[in-house]
Structure formats: structure tokens, C-alpha cells
Amino acid sequence: MSNEKSQIELFQTGENFYSQRYFGSHQVIHGEQEGYTFRVWAPNAQEVWLVGDFNNWDRSLPMEKEEQFGVWKIFTQRAKEGDFYKYLVKQIEGRELYKIDPFAVSFEKRPNVAAMVQTIPEKKWRDDDWQNQNKRSNHFKRPLTIYEVHASSWQCEADGTPYTFKKLKDTLIPYVKKMGFSHIEFMPLMEHPLGESWGYQLIGYFALSLYYGTAAEFQEFVETCHLNDIGVIVDWVPGHFCINDDALAYYDGTPQFEYTDPIQAKNIRWGSLNFDLSKPQVQSFLISSALYWIETFHIDGIRVDAVSNMIYLDYDEGPVLFDQEGGNRNWAGFYFLQKLNAVIKRTHPEVIMIAEESSSETKITGTVESGALGFDYKWNLGWMNDTLRFYAMDAVFRKYNFHLLTFSFMYMMNENYILPLSHDEVVHGKRSLLHKMWGDRYKQFSQLRNLYVYLMTHPGKKLLFMGSEWGQFLEWKSNESLEWIDLDDEMNRSMQYFTKTLNHFYKMEKALWELDHSSETIEMIDADNNEETVLSFIRKGKEKKDFLIIILNFSPIERQNFTVGVPFQGTYEEVLNTEMKEFGGTWIEPNQISQTRKEPFKQFDYQIQTIVPALGAIILKPKVINTRIKRIKNQFSEKIR
């Protein structure tokens, strides 16, 4: 069997995970002639022509069809590197449309959509130490603090154009390193025709948007991140695609990439089309895209957008669909995601796979063999919604709604969670995180610091959207730079310094991430103090002495002589206080070291007293403790069980 035929057959059976190496434009030697071969999958097209800069966009380059599999191809010496091109497709009913190359690795700058003849040169990577470290270590047991970035609006030039990756390499990377984030997550970087879609309406699944620079510049950016111990995650959208006539939509005049059922094909909520994930050719196309980004750009993780839309038939607006048994499961999407994760874990087990998924009916994280979808992490959107609703609430009513803060502890180990304070929560009239906080400006900053302590000490990995680290007051605007002018204000500067301090504190304290996805990582001290609206718990590392005591006060009343139970006799010192003056608060001195008293507090044999600032949070750490004294109550309770 020829290599070409095997490539096509693998594509047809859903097993060609490098299909971009066959389809698209490729520089080749054909006999003794050097030129380019173009291939496109359009099984029901009547005719296809290659048109571009090299033939004045006329019909002088008709493509030949391989009848069995519906692949059109042509070899030409007329095309050259950097030329723009499209396919003129005569569809099944005779309509002629200029279409993009679905496998193109570069396009002209939006809003134009012609593909570019481009060969991405092989890069000699210098990030071996980073890659080897990731392969040796377990990301579940490492700190993970993600800085979510929209590349078009982090910073812009004076004329409003966004920084390209060439400039982001010299600005964003030092900033992220200074601020103490472990990873950058980019909203989609693939080619999309409309900036207002934020990249979630894709046309080019193999192409970095030229708006952000060249593929080589992005490779340099990722490499520099790795040399600075920063990982890179990208958002990816395999569920739905741009409905534009000149892109993937009804490519050959039939439902080629989309579902045959027009109701299932149309995505009303987002004005797009849903991929038919049962088609083996679509599976080859999408899995090839994911592996292309991982291998071409050394990406450390992929966040799959809108997973609920892929696994449920009734997620969208409009008519409700059911499976053969009357349920709402989209089995095509379910099995595709299992296949995607299985392929990536087989080839790149160190790559982090993240699901943005909003239901609780399907096991998302865990092995495919266990029946889960195979993701490493799931965004905890329930935690996010409950938490932000609580912090926006007038403090008077918080004691009646304390469950909004404590409910997440009931299900926190059901999945491997990432706790997201993402772009979706600071746009479309939802207000910025700072603006959501109850009270005057001082109280808003106090509560934002409190919120970030709650985020960083709650089990689960962390994500924060750009601009939130200093408390930008205005909503995020996708077509403008962040409000960096805010940092002229002392309160914003102090907030930024607090976030930086908290990030570095989190990285240093193993108790906050070493056992993150084990129930052993946390012990509640008091989750029932709704009257004072104070929450207290312990986060633990592997070593018995490695633990932190977290106390969060959600009321505007300072709690004097506040009592909490502790596991061991000894002394405890304050290691973080959100109300210190350097962070924007009013405290000049931290709490004094606390000495235990031999008095029971719930399940604990010892207790300490301290002061908890109004709308503030403190973290205590054992200074000198005796871990050899046994906890009689725990021993007794073990005997009862």
C-alpha cells in the first residue's frame, strides 16, 4: 500500500492524527520538479480549483479528485512561499464558493481569510530541562496558578494594535514571573475572523492568528516561558466552529464537518455550527489539530472549551434532542473526548488536559478506563458562581447564606478541580471582580484580598484573569488594553503587591498543593459559624508538621479573642494577614504568636485565640509544636468506627 493511500485511509477511519502533514499545502519534489502539492477533502464537490496570487485567482489550476475518498489534489510549480490562496469549490448543487484551506498553517490578517503558503521551519528547541522536569514530576502534586490572558488586550501599542508575541516575550513573561504565576493560559490563538468572538469562533485549527505574529515568534515565546519556569496552556474549541460561508460550513455543499441533522448541526446559543464528532474524518481533523499545537509549539496544556455542548443534546437553546433511549447524552461527543484524551495521554502524558464543563452528571476527570472522559482537570464553575454571589452580598445577609461558601467542601474531591475567576465573570455587564464586592472602595479591596485567600487555600488549582490581580474596576474590554493606568493609584498598587505576595506564598507552602486532590489535604475547624460569618479550616502537606490554619472573616466586624481549635500543643505564628498596611489595610503589626490552651474545641484537644480583621483573612503556621502527643478524641472515634 502506498504511503499516500495509507494516509487517506487512516484519515477516513479516524486514525490519522497527523493529517495536516498530508492535507494543506506542502513543498515537495515531484519527479525532478520542485513545487507545492495542495490537497483538500471535499467528497461531494463537483469541481475544485486552486486559486491564488500565483495565478491571478483564475481557474487555470483545476484539481484532480481521488474518487474513492473524495480528496482533491494538485501539484504546481507556480506557487511560492508567502503566496495567498483559496479553493474555488463547485458544490454538490452547482453553487461556486471561495473556501479556506481547513489545514492551512497560516492565514492573512483578519478580517481577510485567504490561506498562506507557508512551511514552518524546524526549530531547535532549548527547553529540554523543562520538558524532562514535566515528564519526571506529577502536576497534580505541584503548585498550579494560572494567569488567564487575552493576547489582543493585555497591552496594546499607542495606536491600539495589540502586542505581538515578539513583544509579549519581553513584557508578559517577566511580569508573570515577577507576579509568581506558574502558567499562562491564552484564550484561543487559532485563526478567527472576528475579534469580538475572543477567538471562540474558529476557522483555522492549525494556524496561529497572524494578528499575534508568526509561528516562529510564538515558538520563541513558549521557549522563553519554559526557560523562566512558566508553562503555557491554550484554549481550544473542538465543539463548534464559525458559520461563515467561506470557511468550514457546508464545505462541499453537504454537511461535511457538521451534523447531518440541521437541528443538531446548528448552535443557536453561539451562532455557530457543531462538529459532527461521530465522523471519523472529523475526529482525524480535530485530534490532529490538538497534537499539532502540542508538538509544534511545545504547549503544556489544552483547555477544551464548552464540553457540556459536546456531551449533552439539550445544552443548546431551541428544540430538544434525545438519544435512542430518550436521554440527553450525546454519545458521539462523549466517545470523541475519551478518544482525544486517550491519544494525547498515550503520546504526551505530561500535557495537562482541562475541561470547561458546567454540569455534574458526567465524570470528567480520571482515566478513560474508569468511565470518565479522561481529563486531568475540570473548571469548578459551581464554586465560582456560589463564591461570587456570596461576596457580592451585603454582609448583613451573609450569615443566612453561609452555605454558598461551605457547600463546595462537600463535593471538592468529586473531580480534580481548577477554581476559575475567569474572563467570563468580568464582562457583559457582570462587572469586574473588584466592582462585584459589597461596600465602599476600601471594603471592596479588603474583600478582594479575602477572596484571593479563599481561592488560594481552598483545595484545587487556581486561575485568575488578567487585570484582576490589581483590582481593575472597569469591566474587561476585548478591543482595548487593560487599565494599566490604575497602578498610578496606591490602592491598586497595594492590591497587585498582595496578589504577588500571595502567589509566592502559595508556591512555597506545600500544604496548599501537595495533597490537593486527596481528602487528607483538609480538615475543617469550624464550617458552622454562620452567626459570626467566619470560616476556619486546616490545609495539610505530607509531613505531620506541615500544615496551615486558615481563618476568613466575611463580616465587617473585627473578631477579638477569636478561638479556633488546633491539632497540636505549642505555639502558632501569623504568616499572612490581608489587612497589613503594605497590602492596603490599616494594620501596622501582625498578630502576636499564639500559645495553645488545653481546652477542647470540636474535634481538637487544644485551642488558640487570635484577632481576625474585619472582612479580612489570616493564615497561621505552627512555630514550635509537639506532634508526639496523641489526639485522644481521634483515637476514640477510630475505635468506634
Give the residue numbers annotated as catalytic, written as ranges.
305, 356
**Would you say how long the chain is, in residues?**
641
Q: Quick one: which of 580, 522, 582, 579 has its CA closest to 548?
A: 522
* Residue carrying the nine cell digits 480528496: 71
Bridge partners (DSSP) listed for residue 41: 71
Phi-psi region of 355 (alpha: psi -120 to 50; beta: other; left: phi over 0): beta
One-character DSSP codes across 11-56: HHTT--TTGGGTSEEEEEEETTEEEEEEEEE-TT-SEEEEEEGGGT
Residue 111, preceding bond cis, omega within 30 degrees? yes
381 SS3 class: helix
Q: Quick one: which of 386, 617, 352 has its CA closest to 505?
A: 617
Q: Quick one: which of 239, 152, 250, 159 has its CA closest to 194?
A: 152
Distance, in Å, from the CA atom of 508 to the CA atom of 500, rounded to the nearest integer, reads 13
Distance, in Å, from the CA atom of 464 to the CA atom of 213, rounded to the nearest integer, reads 25
C-beta separation of 269 from 287 below 8 A: no
Distances (CA, A) of 507 to 49, 181, 457: 56, 9, 12
* Phi, psi (degrees; rounded to nearest 5) at 277: -80, 0
Distances (CA, A) of 209 to 206, 219, 319: 10, 13, 35
Vertex 74, ends 72 and 75: CA angle to 5°? 155
Three cell numbers, residue 156: 496594546
C-beta separation of 199 from 189 below 8 A: yes
How many CA within 13 A on the CB side of residue 609? 7
Amino acid symbol at 180: G
* Residue carrying the nine cell digits 438519544: 323
Q: Quick one: which of 129, 104, 296, 120 has its CA closest to 202?
A: 104
Q: Cα 258 vs. chain centroid, distance in angstroms?
A: 25
Distances (CA, A) of 252 to 3, 89, 91, 103, 314: 26, 7, 5, 15, 28
Distance, in Å, from the CA atom of 569 to the CA atom of 625, rounded to the nearest integer, reads 6
Distance, in Å, from the CA atom of 65 to the CA atom of 354, rounded to the nearest integer, reads 39
Provide the pairing of β-strand 24-30 with 33-41.
Answer: antiparallel
